[in-house]
Amino acid sequence: MPALTALSTAPSSAATPTPAELGATLLRLTLGSMWIAHALLKALVFTLPGTAQFFDSVGYPGTLAYPVFALELAGGIALVLGVYARQVALLLVPVLLGAAKVHLGNGWVFNAPGGGWEYPVFLALASLVLWLVGDGAFALHRGRWLAPAFGAVR
């Protein structure tokens, strides 16, 4: 079984990214695209005032809809571009946990009435994985702060 360091996404000395770096890149791009789509859903489909009304209806302050929208959009763009991707992924985890709390009573699967909680929990865990493994290849700016203390690099 390979050691954790062998699976690291530390920049390779060669110009060609490693499979681990490419995997982290795919995760980063996927999460970023999801966040952008989720933000645009709030703005273009539900509208921000409608999202604020929904937040009020589930017990969150309606005004929270606006910073959540901004965080989702800016965070998604930062993830796609690879700008402090690890830190952004970690910063977005509480938003996902808040979404999971809203859907907790609806059951497990996403097609349950009102949507299930598994999708935001999965995305929270995927965000934690990105934080642990690193930015991947082709990141514009690799953040070096908030590094986990148990073996992940960067």
The dihedral through the CA atoms of 82, 85, 91, 93 has a sign that is positive
pLDDT value of position 152: 45
Cβ(64)–Cβ(57) below 8 Å: no
pLDDT value of position 1: 42
Give the C-alpha separation, 89 to 78, whole Å.
9
Mean pLDDT by 10 residues, the chain (154 residues): 45 74 96 95 97 96 97 96 95 95 85 84 94 92 51 45
What lies within 8 Å, CB to CB, of 100 at 6+ separation is: 117, 120, 121, 124
If one counts every other C-beta atom within 10 angstroms of the C-beta of residue 124, the result is 20
Give the C-alpha separation, 110 to 13, whole Å.
42
CA 57 to chain centroid: 25
